[in-house]
Every structure is written in structure tokens, then in C-alpha cells.
Amino acid sequence: MELHRKKRVEVIVEAPALARILRFLDERGVKGYTILPAIAGRGASGRVWSREGQVGEAGRMVAVVAIMDEARLAPLFDDLFRVVSRQIGIVSVSDCDVVRGEAF
Amino acid sequence: MELHRKKRVEVIVEAPALARILRFLDERGVKGYTILPAIAGRGASGRVWSREGQVGEAGRMVAVVAIMDEARLAPLFDDLFRVVSRQIGIVSVSDCDVVRGEAF
Amino acid sequence: MELHRKKRVEVIVEAPALARILRFLDERGVKGYTILPAIAGRGASGRVWSREGQVGEAGRMVAVVAIMDEARLAPLFDDLFRVVSRQIGIVSVSDCDVVRGEAF
Amino acid sequence: MGEIFAMAGANLVSPMVLSFALGFAAALARSDLSFPEAAAKALALYLLFAIGFKGGASVADHGLDGTLVLAIAAGAALSALIPLIAFGLLRAVSGLDRVNAAAVAAHYGSISIVTFVAATSALASAGMAYEGYLVAVAAVMETPAILVALWLARAGQGERRPAEPGGHDAGLWREIALNGSIVLLTGAFLIGLVTGPKGLAEIESFIIDPFKGVLCLFLLDMGLVAGRGMRTGARFLAPPVIAFGVAMPLIGGALGLGAGALIGLSPGGVALMTTLAASASYIAVPAAMRVALPEANPSIYLTLSLGITFPFNLTVGIPLYSAAAALVTGG
Amino acid sequence: MGEIFAMAGANLVSPMVLSFALGFAAALARSDLSFPEAAAKALALYLLFAIGFKGGASVADHGLDGTLVLAIAAGAALSALIPLIAFGLLRAVSGLDRVNAAAVAAHYGSISIVTFVAATSALASAGMAYEGYLVAVAAVMETPAILVALWLARAGQGERRPAEPGGHDAGLWREIALNGSIVLLTGAFLIGLVTGPKGLAEIESFIIDPFKGVLCLFLLDMGLVAGRGMRTGARFLAPPVIAFGVAMPLIGGALGLGAGALIGLSPGGVALMTTLAASASYIAVPAAMRVALPEANPSIYLTLSLGITFPFNLTVGIPLYSAAAALVTGG
Amino acid sequence: MGEIFAMAGANLVSPMVLSFALGFAAALARSDLSFPEAAAKALALYLLFAIGFKGGASVADHGLDGTLVLAIAAGAALSALIPLIAFGLLRAVSGLDRVNAAAVAAHYGSISIVTFVAATSALASAGMAYEGYLVAVAAVMETPAILVALWLARAGQGERRPAEPGGHDAGLWREIALNGSIVLLTGAFLIGLVTGPKGLAEIESFIIDPFKGVLCLFLLDMGLVAGRGMRTGARFLAPPVIAFGVAMPLIGGALGLGAGALIGLSPGGVALMTTLAASASYIAVPAAMRVALPEANPSIYLTLSLGITFPFNLTVGIPLYSAAAALVTGG
Ligand SMILES: Nc1ncnc2c1ncn2[C@@H]1O[C@H](COP(=O)(O)O)[C@@H](O)[C@H]1O
Ligand SMILES: Nc1ncnc2c1ncn2[C@@H]1O[C@H](COP(=O)(O)O)[C@@H](O)[C@H]1O
Ligand SMILES: Nc1ncnc2c1ncn2[C@@H]1O[C@H](COP(=O)(O)O)[C@@H](O)[C@H]1O
Ligand code: NA
Ligand code: NA
Ligand code: NA
């Protein structure tokens, strides 16, 4: 089967900002994404977090994975970065291959 | 330490189909895989899901990550894609490096 | 926005060894990492695990994701591999791009 | 007649129904109120264990009357029959294709254990007793509907499609028969049967006293999930499909009512048999359909069963079925 | 005076406070004792449901006296007023910048429902009754503080910054108003109000009998989280900020005391009004601040509210506020 | 003798044991019945808190008799001694290498708190009282076995291997000593001790009334995990290792019996001391072994302890140990 090169965008971001990120992705016509839970982490700030025993959303992180075409990513990436960088979180982009190229 | 280039296959698929996917990977001699939970997502169909408060398996997604040699992936990839594409789910493949090349 | 090439290190390791891995990353000045839960898996040993219904930590796996500069990774990678290989777990490394290059 | 309305009214303002309504409303209003998945599953495990155990202990206490076998046979027959009716109806009026109609039909032949539990709770409030072994009948009714629906779906495909990679059918049947909720319900029933009233006495302050309160919390969660389902899935339900979701419980319920009365169940027992026949699965069957009929659209069957039929049964159905059972049995 | 010390002493060695202390100590000692997130959330859902329902059922039982409206108005006013005082104080003494001071201020205007719950529990042990509708007052006090704090934060920025991508403010307001804990608390209150003592009788062996025990487990978890917060976050709290975390509950509490006495609440009611005003949010407001004021440092407001003010209120505050309420009302 | 069989029979058909059997059978039959991890952990936290609190409150009520210190010393000694015997036995008959034998030995010197809890529950049903401080003895017995086993494992390696990166041993000792379950058990014991019967009265409808029912659910989960362990891990257990898993509890139990009788515990107390000595850890020690002896194969020690010894103790062991205790003490 023929494979098509796409971008895999991974946003690790604090949970209270998730709705904002998803709203952004929806508005910009991103075709799909999946949200994975995280259980703990540490950042450059030295701030350690862990969701153990937590009731509130603040201080909890999630990972949003969205696979999309580079042509779709290019016009939204700068704004995505701007949204994430106001919050606690990081954005990274890597390459991946998929089968149904038109679905991403 | 010398690194060996491998493929990282990521299958994001609905939970009820997980047993089928794993059976497939087992039959085809894949050496290992890890299953990560997902908490929510949206696809091209516009279908939104979230596992919050869900009791049943339907409408819940998981991510299967399997790192393997390209020579092992090639003969099974088309069938893997066929199994996944009957279900709700996506497959993507990317490159990664590992140390013990023979273990994958 | 300009992107900077970094390494994405993914350590899938048994939960009881997590503290040891994190202590290692902290000591070696890694700037950040995120820990994702896993729910089940199988390895080359044929050993199957699942965290369903488990109370103890033994026999549970987690994924540690750390994005860092190649220059930072190189001097610690061999030792990281040594720590992980004493435990149940695997290490893989892939490429990714980030915006704030100096933060990783 | 007045009594019926009184019971219906009492049911509508019971903490159980209001908790469901709260969840449903909160989800429609897009509140972020939600239960962790693990908590929802734990509540479901508790309810299955408690209802199964109580049923078994009650059988141990009152003895088995001869209707047990009849009731189980009737339950299995209803579970196999109802999907045929549902399928015919859907094909005639709803415009759903064969596969989707079969998948929906499976849900209505099977049962919703939470609807059953809510009905036992309403019966208890109304002082109506019932046969403990109806729990076993509920367990029996989960599976036949699935088999019939798969046969309906495949009948139209001429012959079975070639084996898929990773798709052993043997595995599928085992998964369906050893489905966690059937195993827990049946197992707890057997434990209750073996340990009897003495066993019940040991753990009743866990499985009896807090039962209704736990049910309220679980229904609150069901309301949240059902409301979210309606919010995101209502667009998949054409009007005739929605009408089906209200009509089919009445049809199934009528069959259950007849069967229960024929085999001579108590008024409470007839009410529960009616409820079982009227209820539609939204936990076990959807998962089975994703495995066995992945081509069918889950947004249709899940939304219909959980968003339309479950609330209908919980609010209007249960008092109606109880009233009908009282009427029919002269109880 | 002797009585006050006796009650304070009894409070300090209650299972509730000791459970919190156990968790706090375990976290400081770096024990790996921890609650799963889902379990902690489930306990919180239980407490909100139970306290809301009991409040509503109590209002249904005792009837609404005229002070309900007054109490709600007073609660809203306190919630809006306290952040102004807190903000002024912080700007004067703490060295926090405008945004961080505003974010902290929001927490103190809002309330901690667990502190409220612990206070009702201590009142019950001391035999002091209270007005059931104070649960509704608690729900009302969650939000105004947030609005005032945002206004304080933005007042200094001249004009509002341009709209951010993905940052609809309308969404924000809905999220704050339909926050899960407000919806559950208010909804359960209404269910209790509608179903009254009869509804309560149906589920009291779930929501009344085990209540204190559940609260102990939840406070154990709170202790673990607070202790971990102090261990990793204490370095973000300058001494004047810590002093604020002890002084502000006293100031807020004094206002609550005055308001409660003025509108004629019972001694128990005044104690609860004082507790509400003295308490600081650590669940709802931190999440709202991450959305509305992401520039503010969560390590400051979370650590202060959960690590300093919550333990202070739980151990010293509650008996103090109860004693003051008894004194002021002559009760 | 007849009584012994009666108690053994009663134990076998108790809801507790049958729940475990249900889980075990369901897992062997590959049912998908399962508990969420968070729910299993929450049940374990409840059991630890409840059993610890009850023990402390009972000591507060009955006063400390002089045997407390003796019992704690005896527990620590047994915990250190049993691994030596287990290690010798394993090396002699099982063919396990030094490291694996040491890792297994650690489990048998330590204790299984769930086995202890099940034994207290069986004693209560049989009307046998016991000393509340045995909870403290249980807490003390968790750790010494680990230290002895590490010494056994390393004695053979000539000298300690060079420090590993990330492998501070100081961290390890703190982790073992401040292990969550020890901290919770001991902490709850102290809270019970401080608050006494009055504290117990406040929360007994949470920690006493539903206790047995919660234990049933937890044992159902243990059965699922143990059955799954046996299904996937049985191939790692050679026949002599399996025989060890049945023989070792009898040897350890005999030592516990002698120690308990010698220091003059009550019949129930001797039964519990026997049970503690006979039981093998499957939560705390496996995790410690993964940190301290990662070379040892967890499939061996986990499967043996949870799949063989735990079911043996639960079904046959507990009634046997109680009977032996009654015999020895003439109680
Ligand atoms: N280099 C990194 N690799 C992986 N995750 C990171 C990294 N840096 C930060 N994170 C995650 O982002 C969170 C916030 O980072 P920070 O804003 O630097 O405190 C951390 O707690 C981690 O979960
Ligand atoms: N482009 C994508 N990137 C990441 N996850 C996706 C993507 N598309 C689909 N998914 C995931 O797959 C699920 C099913 O997608 P669909 O079949 O398109 O409804 C979604 O709910 C997501 O969890
Ligand atoms: N090739 C692989 N791809 C993904 N995960 C793996 C792979 N091999 C091993 N794992 C994970 O690492 C765990 C331990 O592997 P092992 O030590 O081979 O038993 C497995 O249970 C999986 O969760
Ligand atoms: Na039905
Ligand atoms: Na306040
Ligand atoms: Na032992």
C-alpha cells in the first residue's frame, strides 16, 4: 500500500487549556485528533506535577496528538504555538506516514 | 552505543477491536507492543468521543504502539491496515532508533 | 516560526523503576519530561501484562517522553540505556521539531 | 387509574429519576460535570454484584418454584424474538439499511440491567415483591438477541465473507458468552444462592442499605453520558428512528407482559419481565456490535438506546409496566 | 472560654483532622501513599451530592424562612467584596504583581466546599443545627469572586488585549457558571428540595451514615495533595504571602460573621457563613484562573490556598468560627 | 474435630471465599470481567484504613496489655527468620538460583494484609476475639524480610556491585520504610488509638458496617488478578516451586503459632499471628524487588505468591490456623 508523508503534532498542555486548544483546532479545520492522559511531569521551570489524588484540573497535563498534512499545518502552526505558549505546555512536530493521505 | 533504525507503528483504534488487533499482531510474530489509553478524540467524521463516565467499551479508543523492524513490518502492514480500516481507527508509521536491534 | 530539530526519547519501563529513571534524568540535567500511563503490553519474552485490577506497582508500565537537544542526549544516552536495560523496559529515540530551541 | 398516576408521579420525582434528569440536563447545557470512567465502572460492578447476590439469596430463601425454568425459557425466547420484530419494523419504516437495522435490533432483544435495577427499586418503594430468579432471566436475555441479529445482518450478504486477519469467530462467541457483566451477574447470583440469607446478612449493610443511593449516583452518570450522546449524536437519528426508540419498548414490553402473565409470575415479577423485554442494552451489545458488525454506525444504536429508550423506560416505562402488570395479574 | 478550647481540642483530635494530618505528614516524608485521581474525584462527587441533597431535604423539611434571600445576597456580596480586600492587602504587603495578586484574591472570595463540609460535620458533633439552604449560599459564592478578580487583573492592563485564537470569552463564562461542582451541588440541593424527607429516607444510608467516614478518606487525600504541594511549592511563597494565607481567612471570616449575625442566622448558620467567607477555593478557581489568567503563577495560588489556608481553617479556623458564632449570637 | 471441619466448610462457602473463586474462575475462562485499576486501589485503601483504625480503637478501648511489645518483637523476628528458612528450602529443592530464591523468600517473610483482613473477618464470624494491636504487628512484619532477602541475594555476589546511575540505595530504604500501605495502616492505627471508641462511633457506619461487603468485592478482584496471573504465569512455576507455595505457609504458620502461644496471645490473636507468618506479600514486596533485585523474575514470585499461596491461605489456611490456635491455646 502506498504511504503518504504527514506531520504528527504533539501538544503537551495543561488540562484547563484543553478546551481552548481543541476549539482552535476545530476552527482551523483540523480533521482529527486524539487526547492521551499524562500522569506526571517536570518542566524547565523545575515545576513538578502529578495527578495522583488531584480533584481539580489545574496542575494536570494532557497530550493532544493530531496527524495532518503539512499544507494544513503550515498556516495554523504559528497561531497554535501562540495559544500553547500562553499556557503551561509544549508543542513538537515529527514526521509520520499514513495510508489514506486525503483523510488528514 | 550503536543505534538501529526501526519503525514505530501507532494504531489508534476503538477499544472493542483491540483484542482483534492484538491477536493479529501475535499471529504475525510481532515481538512486542504497548497499549496506551486515550481519553477523548475527534475524527474526520466529526464524531466526538470521550471516555468520561463511560461504562461500556464501545466509543472508547486506545493507542497501540509497536516498534519493529521494517523487514517485519512490510509483509504485515497491508493486512494490519485492512483490519484497522474496518473499525474506527487510524494507523501511522514513523522512524525511530533503538539499541538492541535484534529485539524488535 | 523557525523550527529546531530535537530528539524525542521514549522510555517504556516498569512502574517500580520510574523513580530511578526520573532521578537519573534529573541528575543529568534533562530539562523536562512527561509520563504517560500504559494499560497493557507484551514483550519479546512473551510476558503479557495488564494493569486491570492491579493494586501493586510491579507488573505495570509507564511511558516517559523527554524531548531534548541531541547535544544533551549524547553524553547520557548510554547510561540511560544501562539503567533501563536492568529493568523491564525499552528505549527508543526519534526526531522532532520544536520552536523554542533553547528550552530543550 | 388514580393509583397508576400516583405511582407514575412518585416515580418521576424519585431521587433516582431526578438524578438522571440532573445529569442529562447538565450534559445538554455543556457543563463539565463528569464521572471518571473508573468510578462509573466501579458503580456498575457494585450494582451487578448486589442485584445478582440479592436475587440468589432470595431464591435460597423462598425456594425455587416451578416457574423458574419457564421464566428462563421465556426470557431466551423473547430475546430471540424481539430482534426479528424490531428488524422488520426498522426496515419497514426507518430507512436504515440491513446492517444498521440488525445492529439496532440486537440492542432491543437484549436488556439493560440498569433499567432492571431501577425497576426493582421502584417496585420496592411501591411494596411489590418479585421472584429473585429474575436476575438469572436477565442474564440469559443478554446473548440470544446478538446471535439473531448477526444472522439477520448476514442473511442478506448471501454467504459469509472470507475470514479476516485477526478475526476468529470462535473468539467472538466466547467474548459474548463470557462478557464481564453476564459473568458477574450470574456469579453473584450463584454466590447468593449458595450462601443464602446467612450470607446476605453478612454483607447486607454493603449491598442493601446503600443500594438506592449508589443507584442515584450511577443514574446521574448515565444521565451525563446519555445527554452528551444526544448532544453529539442526535443528528444521526432520523425522526422515524426516534419514534422506533419509543414504540419498540412498548411492543417488547407487551410481549414480556404476556409471557410473564402466562407463566404465572407474581405482579412484581410480571412488571420486571415486562421491563426486561422493553429495555435495550447500551453496554454489552454496543461493544459486541463493534466487534461483530463494525460496518454498523455506533452513533445510531448507542444514541438511540441510551438517549431515547433508556430515559423513556426510566421515566414513563417503569411505572407503566408496573401498572400494567398489576392490572393483568389482578395484583 | 473553656468550652471553646474544649471544642478546639475535640476538633484537633477528630478522625477528620487527624486523617488530614496523616496525609500531610506522609507527603512531607515523601511516602508513596497516594490516591488514584479517579478515586479522589469519586469521593468529591459523593460529598457534593450528599451535602447538596441533605441541604435541600432540610429546607423541604423546615420550610424556607425569609432569611434565605438575604443569605444568598450576602453570600454573593461577600464573594465580590473579599477579593477587593484581598487584592489591596496583597498589593500593599506581599510584593505580588497585579495579575498574581488578582488570581490569589479570586481564591479567597470564592469558597472551599470541603472546608464547608468539614464545618458541618464539626457542628453536628457539637450539636449545633444550621440552615439547610447554606448549601445554596455556598454554590452562589463560587463565581462572583472570579469576575471581580478578572476585572482587577485587567483594570491595570489599560484595555482588554486583542482576542486570542481559540480564546472565546463567551466559552469561558459558560465554563465558570456551569462548572461541574456548582452544577452538582445545586442540582443535588434541588433534588433534595423536591423529594424532601421522604427522598432522604430512601437514600440516607448512603448519603448520611457513611458520610463522616468518606470525609476522613477524602481529607487524607487532601492532606497528601496539600503536603506534596507544600513540599514542591513552598519556595514560591514569600513570608508575607504565607502570612496573608493565615490573616485573610480571619478577615474574610470576620465579614462572614458580621453578615451572618446581621441577617439573623442561627448560631450554626453564622458559623457556616463565617467558614464560607474564610475559606479559599482550591479546585474550581485554580482551573478557572488557568483559563482566564494564564499569566498568573499557579504554584503561588494553589500552594497558598491548599497548603496554608485549608489546613489553617480545618484545624484552627472551624472551632474558632464556631465559637465566635456562638458568642455573637449568644447561642 | 467436627467443629474444625464445620468452620472450614463455613469458610469455604462464605461470600468472601466464593467471590474470590468467582474471580479466579472468570479469569481462567478468559472472561473480560475486570476492575479498573483505580477502583482496586481505592478498595485497598479503604481496607487498610478501616482495619488500621479498628485495631487502634480496640487498643484504646481495651488498654495495652504487656504482650504488645512481645508481639511486635516476635513479628519482627519471624519476618527476619522465615526468609532464611524459605531461602534454604528453595535452594535445596526448587532449582531456583540465588537471586530468584532470595526474591521469593522475601515475599514469605513479609505478609499479605488481605489475608490478615480475611482472617479477622472469619474470626468475627466464628465469634473469636483478638488483640487490636496485631494490626501494628502486621505493619512491622512488612519490612525485615526485605532486608534479609537482599542480604541473602548479595551474600553470594562476593561484594556489592558498583553504584548504578540513578540507583541511590538510600532512596530505596526510604521507599521501603515509607511504603504507602505501611504508612496508611500505621497511621490509621494511630488515629484509632487517639480517637478511641468515640472516634470509631463517628465513622463506624463507614468502616465497620460495609466492611465485609467491600472485602468481597476486593477478593473478587484479587481472584481475577490471581487467575490471570496463573493463566499467563503458571508455565514459570516448576512443580517443586508450586509445592513450596503450599508447604511454606504451613512452616511459617507453625512458627507463628508457636510464637503466638508462647507470648500468651488470645486464641484469636494466635490465629492471626499464625496467619501473618503463613501469608506472603504480593503488593509491597514485588514492587520492592523490582527496584532492589531487578534481575529476579517477577513471573515467578508474583505468580507463586498470588496464584498459589494466597488462594491456599484463603480457603484452607485460615480455618486450619484458627483451629490450630484454638487447640494450642485450649480456647
Ligand atoms: N522537554 C520536555 N519533554 C517532555 N515534556 C516536557 C518537556 N518540557 C516540559 N514538558 C512537559 O510540560 C510540562 C510543563 O513544562 P514547563 O512549562 O516547562 O513547566 C512539564 O511538566 C512536562 O509535563
Ligand atoms: N488526524 C488524526 N490525528 C489523530 N487522531 C485521529 C485523527 N483522525 C482520527 N483520529 C482518532 O481516531 C478516532 C476515529 O476517527 P474517525 O474514524 O475519523 O471518526 C478519532 O476520534 C480520533 O481519536
Ligand atoms: N517492540 C515493542 N514495541 C512496543 N512496546 C514494547 C516492545 N517490546 C516491549 N515493549 C513493552 O515493554 C514491555 C516489556 O517488554 P519485555 O521486557 O520484552 O517483556 C512490554 O510488555 C511492552 O509493554
Ligand atoms: Na429488551
Ligand atoms: Na471565601
Ligand atoms: Na509471612
What confidence score (pLDDT) does residue B53 get?
A: 81
Contact at CB, D299 and B82, closer than 8 angstroms = no
Between CA F97 and CA F93 the distance in angstroms is 11
Query: What pLDDT is attached to residue C63?
Result: 97
By CB atoms closer than 10 A (0-12, 13-18, 19+), residue E258 is middle
> Residue C49: what pLDDT?
85
Residue type, D69: V
- A:C CB pairs within 8 Å: 60
With a CB cutoff of 8 Å and minimum separation 6, the contacts of D220 are D19, D20, D22, D23, D35, E49, E184
Instruction: Choose the mutation target among E19, E22, E31, E37 for the interface with A, i.e. most A CBs under 10 Å.
Output: E37
C-beta atoms surrounding C45 within 10 Å: 11
The pLDDT tens digits for F18-37 are 999 999 999 999 999 999 99
Q: Which residue has the cell 447538565?
A: D26
Measured between beta carbons, which residues in chain E are less than 8 angstroms from residue A88? 290, 294, 298
Choice between C41 and D5, residue whose per-residue pLDDT is larger: C41
Atom number, ligand 1, closest to the C-alpha of residue A44: 18
Closest in F39, F46, F174 to E30, CB measured: F174
Q: Which residues line ligand 3 (CB under 6 A)?
A: B 31-34, 65-68, 104; C 12, 41-45, 47, 49, 61, 88-90
Residues of chain B above pLDDT 90, percent: 78
Nearest by CB: A83 against E36, E165, E283: E165
Sign of the alpha-carbon torsion through A14, A19, A24, A29: positive
pLDDT tens, F89-102? 999 999 999 999 99
- Alpha-carbon gap: B1 to the closest alpha carbon of chain D (Å): 37
In SS3 terms, chain C reads as CCCEEEEEEEEEEEHHHHHHHHHHHHHCCCCCEEEEECCEEECCCCCEEECCCCCCCCCCEEEEEEEECHHHHHHHHHHHHHHHHHCCEEEEEEEEEECCHHHC
Residue-wise pLDDT tens digits, D285-318:
999 999 999 999 999 999 999 999 999 999 999 9
Average pLDDT on D279-287 reads 94
Q: How confident is the model at residue B13 (pLDDT cuts 50, 70, 90)?
A: very high
Q: Residue for cell digits 483523510? A: A103
Q: Are D82 and D255 within 8 A, CB to CB?
A: yes
**C-alpha cell, E25:** 505528614
Per-residue pLDDT of chain F (331 residues; tens, 9 = 90+): 566 677 777 788 899 999 999 999 999 999 999 999 999 999 999 999 999 999 999 999 988 878 899 999 999 999 999 999 999 999 999 999 999 999 999 999 999 999 999 999 999 988 999 999 999 999 999 999 999 999 999 886 654 555 555 555 667 777 788 889 999 999 999 999 999 999 999 999 999 999 999 999 999 999 999 999 999 899 999 999 999 999 999 999 999 999 999 999 999 999 999 999 999 999 999 999 999 999 999 999 999 999 999 999 999 999 999 999 999 998 6
pLDDT for the residue numbered D170: 67
pLDDT (0 to 100) of residue E196: 95
In this structure, the number of other CB atoms found within 10 A of the CB of residue E1 comes to 7
Cα(E310) to centroid(ligand 4), Å = 51
The angle subtended at Cα D322 by Cα D319 and Cα D325, nearest 5°, is 150
Closest residue by CA, ligand 1 atom 7: C32
Cell, residue F240: 517443586
Residue D180 predicted with pLDDT over 70: yes
Task: Identify the band that residue D228 occupies on the pLDDT scale cut at 50, 70 and 90.
Answer: very high
Model confidence over D182-212: pLDDT tens digits? 999 999 999 999 999 999 999 999 999 999 9
Q: Which pLDDT does position E168 carry in this prediction?
A: 52
pLDDT of residue D295: 93
pLDDT at A52: 84
- Residue E175 with chain A: CB contacts under 8 Å: 19
Q: Assign 3-class secondary structure to E83-138.
A: HHHHHHHHHHHCCCCHHHHHHHHHHHHCCCHHHHHHHHHHHHHCCCCCCCCHHHHH
D241 contact partners, CB below 8 Å, separation of at least 6: D90, D94, D96, D104, D300, D304
Residue D27 is predicted with a pLDDT of 96
Which stretches in chain E have pLDDT values below 50? 159
Contact E203, E57 (CB under 8 A): no
Q: Give the Cα separation of F247 and E328 in Å (integer).
A: 70
Residue D285: name the closest of D47, D106, D122 by CA: D106
3-state class (DSSP) for residue B13: strand
Phi then psi for F29, rounded to 5 degrees?
A: -80, 5
Chain E residues near any Cβ of chain D (below 8 Å): 36-39, 41-42, 45-46, 49, 53, 174-175, 178-181, 183-184, 187-188, 190-191, 194-195, 199, 202-207, 209-210
Please report which confidence band the pLDDT of residue D164 belongs to, taking 50, 70 and 90 as the band edges: low
Which is more confident, D51 or D165? Answer: D51
What is chain D's percent helix, strand, coil content, to nearest 5? Answer: 80, 0, 20
Look-up of cell digits 494491636: F133
Residue closest by Cα to atom 17 of ligand 1: A88
**To the nearest whole number, what is the mean pLDDT of chain C?**
93
Of ligand 1's listed atoms, the one at least distance from the Cα of A61 is 23
- Name the residue among A19, A48, A53 with its Cβ closest to that of E171: A19
CA distances from E210 to C36, C53, D205 (A): 35, 25, 11
State which H helix or E strand residue A102 sits in. Answer: none
Chain A interface includes B94 (CB < 8 A): yes
* Chain C residues with CB-CB distance to F168 below 8 A: 23
Q: Which residues of B touch C44 (CB under 8 A)?
A: 31-32, 103
Question: Per mean pLDDT, which range of C52-56, D38-42, F105-109 is the poorest?
Answer: C52-56
Distance CA F19, CA F16 (A): 5
Pairing between β-strand B33-37 and β-strand C40-42 as defined by DSSP bridges: antiparallel
d(CA D281, CA D289): 11
pLDDT for E172:
75
Chain D contact set for B18 (CB, 8 A)? none
Tens digit of pLDDT for each residue in D126-142?
899 999 999 999 999 99
C-alpha cell at F30: 478468559
Backbone angles phi, psi at B23, to 5 degrees: -60, -45
Q: CA of C92: how far to CAs of B5, C7, D227, in Å?
A: 10, 10, 42
C-alpha cell at D8: 407514575
CA–CA gap between residue B35 and residue B18 (Å, rounded): 9
pLDDT digits (tens, 9 = 90+) for D100-114: 999 999 999 999 999
A35 to B36: CB separation less than 8 angstroms, yes or no: no
Note the ipTM here. Answer: 0.95
Q: How confident is the model at residue B51 (pLDDT cuts 50, 70, 90)?
A: confident
C68: which strand partners?
Answer: C7
